Structure 1
Amino acid sequence: MAGVLTESILNMLVNDMRPISMVEDEGFKQMVTTFHPGYTLPSRTNFTKLMEGKYEATFGKVKDALKATKNKIALTTDAWTSVATEAYLGITCHFISDDWELNSFCLTTMPLEERHTGTNIAAWIEQAVERFEIPPSKVVAVVHDNGSNVVLTAYILQEKHGWVSVRCAGHTLQLVINRALKHPQISKALGAARCLVEHFKSSELASSKLKTKQKQMGTPEHKLVQDVSTRWNSTYYMVTRLLE
């Protein structure tokens, strides 16, 4: 029974992406004791070892699955920055199973401490592919955004391995719409819309009065939406909510 409980807590930490230090929190300890008074909660060190073991086992399963498939594999790659301004590179692989089901595995989310040049990114992608023992001939394409360094990365990999370069349709659409939104009349209207939203977002009094009016009119008590420059649909949602 103790083993089942420990495994359950470990799965919770992994699936919910909780810090291992959570097992040392008093509230968590009290909750576990309430559920099972006779259970001795393993230490943080033990959970760290168990998580490392789970990682190795999962890593082996992914590697076996990639080795077992006879179909071609496509890669997607994206460099991004966390809220703590730390840069990472995510690499995911995708393939169709014999039952025509899409399978996807995250190969790595690696911190980037060197310059994000096309040559470096190409090398990091090759390292991830090699680590999972994927033959280069098995990779058919790399999907990426339109950043000049990543476009160069794709070119390097295409020249070296023959991997087809595929620009992300979503990112390309974003660039097209962004250009359209810069039209003077559209830009002016959106600027006014943003000023309205920012007013209600920054003023507790205005936000409270808006909520009161919504109650009086019997309309949904929805909040205004602030758009984000990298998501064109957020601008659409902002305007739609304002019109409402």
Structure 2
Amino acid sequence: MQPKTNQDDGKLIATTYNEEKCREALARFVLLDEAPFKTVEGNGFKYMLSVFEPRFHVPCRTTIARDVLQVYVDEKKKLKDFFVRNQQRVCLTTDTWTSIQNINYMCLTAHFVDNNWKLQKKILNFCPISNHKGDTIGKALEACLKSWGIERVLTVTVDNASSNNDAILYLSKIVNSWNGAIMNGNHMHLRCSAHILNLIVTEGLKDYHESISKIRNVVRYVRGSPARLQKFKSCAEREKISSKKLLCLDVPTRWNSTYLMLESAEKFQKAFEMLEDHDTQYFRDFCLGEDKGAPTSLDWEYARCFIKFLKVFFHATLKFSGSLFVTFNTFLRHLCMVHSQLQNWCDSKDIFLKHMAENMKKKYDKYWGSYQVINPFLFIAVLLDPRHKQRLLRYCFALLWSEDKANEMTSRVINTLNELYYQYKVIYFANVEAIDNMPIANDMPADNDEIDADSLFNSSYMQLVNETDGVDNKTENPGAISYHFWTAKFGCCCRIQTLL
């Protein structure tokens, strides 16, 4: 037995060879690195393990497949025991699609905060379904939750397919019958913000796809062979283009990849123009004939406008779709930035910019144009953020709608929070004395990002903070409030915070 340092306490512990532990470790290696099962039968792999531990017999691919399945079964049991033991309330995200083999699939993911206040993301199920009807999806969700012992659900995030409305309505009735819904499941349905942004952007770009298509075609041509790429690089060097970015081809159905393609390509406009003189095949394909396919100077100007538009939505999508960090409390902030940018572009004197923004604004108003169509839990999360509280809520409401509505809508959000608070108090803290006044703390602004829209929002919000609360704000550092303080003094609020 050789001594080994325990990473937890730094003490030396005795270790010995264990065949089962080695088999399990090998199975976890295959899982974590997504290695093919045949890896274990490679001569180089076997030689490496023979040097590491000569006594270990490397299993065949069939055996390692069984070991991987056993690891999954063991981990699933641990997670299920956690859900059942803690009666954990979760937020769910689900999506359905049809594969190229014409098979319908559904994926269900649970998001929750564990007992150590760490955000967790666990895929609960990945299964085929018979069709995309609402009842079918709802019943599949019900079966999955039953198999995991999950009865308490706060929200289910889905895209804007009409069938999802029926699916969530069905599921909310089921969860209500389990006594696992909050506020009768009235706010269980949460629309995917990233998907809404996708709809807004698609609406704005649909009338200008020809310019994008031209740039896509020349990028595809240059990337088509090493010889073409080398000629293009030579043209870029002659034009003294210093950009280190490489040309990337987009997926036409994914606008975020289109943004990355345009952002890299527009820097090489002069190189593409020079390529017309140095590549006869390029000249024949794109510059001759009635249907000229080479991007014109106007197409490149359009591309730069697209980039300006898409940059705001690209970064907002990254914030909305994050799964390794909390996104609820930042939704309103990024919604305001998107709204302000659209409003500024709608007022622009540039006709092209104005027309594209107006198309986007129509789609924006459909999903985010009024308070009633947005899930109130997204606003409650701002109230529970100790850096902001009511002030940021009022400020954002005034930006989105009007000063007159800001106070009214803030009061409605607070009333919803009070209702949520007292329901949690009954469920979890029946013996705790009622807290008459919800604590409202001064706020501190979040750190600035590199995005211009974010900096603009921070600047205007901080101006409001300085005008309304110059001295008192210096005495408080909400970021220093400890977990133990919150759990000791505001236990019920902490329960809500773990969900939002």
In structure 2, what is the equivalent of residue 117 of structure 1? 133
In structure 2, what is the equivalent of residue 226 of structure 1? 249
Q: CA deviation at 1:98?
A: 4.4
CA RMSD of aligned residues (A): 2.5
Matching residue within 200, 210, 218 for 2:232? 210
Contact 2:28/2:71 (CA < 8 Å) preserved in 1?
no
Q: CA deviation at 1:118?
A: 1.6
Contact 2:137/2:167 (CA < 8 Å) preserved in 1?
yes
Distance in 1 between residues matched to 2:109 and 2:101, nearest whole Å: 23
Counterpart of 2:223 in structure 1: which amino acid? K
Counterpart of 2:209 in structure 1: which amino acid? S
Contact 2:88/2:150 (CA < 8 Å) preserved in 1?
no
Q: CA deviation at 1:219?
A: 3.0
Matching residue within 189, 197, 201 for 1:173? 197
* Runs of 5+ consecutive residues of structure 1 not aligned to the other structure: none
Distance in 2 between residues matched to 1:67 and 1:118, nearest whole Å: 27
Q: CA deviation at 1:159?
A: 4.4
In structure 2, what is the equivalent of residue 156 of structure 1? 170
Counterparts of 1:1-244 in structure 2 under 5 Å?
1=17, 3=19, 4-70=21-87, 72-81=89-98, 86-112=103-129, 114-135=130-151, 138-161=152-175, 162-163=184-185, 164-183=188-207, 186-214=208-236, 217=240, 219-244=242-267
Q: CA deviation at 1:172?
A: 0.8
Residues 226, 45 of structure 1: CA spacing in aligned structure 2 closer, same or farther, 3 A cutoff? closer
Q: CA deviation at 1:40?
A: 1.6
Contact 1:214/1:221 (CA < 8 Å) preserved in 2?
no
Residues 26, 80 of structure 1: CA spacing in aligned structure 2 closer, same or farther, 3 A cutoff? farther
Q: CA deviation at 1:22?
A: 2.6
Contact 2:24/2:71 (CA < 8 Å) preserved in 1?
no
Contact 2:104/2:131 (CA < 8 Å) preserved in 1?
no
Residues 48, 167 of structure 1: CA spacing in aligned structure 2 closer, same or farther, 3 A cutoff? same
The two structures have a TM-score, normalised by structure 2, of 0.44
Q: CA deviation at 1:218?
A: 6.9
In structure 1, what is the equivalent of residue 471 of structure 2? none
Residues 157, 16 of structure 1: CA spacing in aligned structure 2 closer, same or farther, 3 A cutoff? same
Q: CA deviation at 1:108?
A: 0.9
Residues 22, 80 of structure 1: CA spacing in aligned structure 2 closer, same or farther, 3 A cutoff? farther
Percentage of identical aligned residues:
28
Distance in 1 between residues matched to 2:210 and 2:76, nearest whole Å: 52
Contact 2:93/2:156 (CA < 8 Å) preserved in 1?
yes
Contact 1:214/1:220 (CA < 8 Å) preserved in 2?
no
Q: Report the more deviating stretch, 161-170 or 17-26.
A: 17-26
Query: How many residue pairs get matched?
Result: 239
Structure 1 or 2: larger strand share? Answer: 1
The two structures have a TM-score, normalised by structure 1, of 0.84
Q: CA deviation at 1:43?
A: 3.1
Q: CA deviation at 1:48?
A: 3.2
- Which has the greater radius of gyration? 2
Q: CA deviation at 1:13?
A: 0.7
Counterpart of 2:147 in structure 1: which amino acid? R
Contact 1:74/1:93 (CA < 8 Å) preserved in 2?
yes
* Runs of 5+ consecutive residues of structure 2 not aligned to the other structure: 1-16, 176-183, 268-500
Contact 2:89/2:154 (CA < 8 Å) preserved in 1?
yes
**Tell me, what secondary structure is at the counterpart of 1:77?**
strand
Residues 21, 241 of structure 1: CA spacing in aligned structure 2 closer, same or farther, 3 A cutoff? same
**Tell me, what secondary structure is at the counterpart of 1:182?**
helix
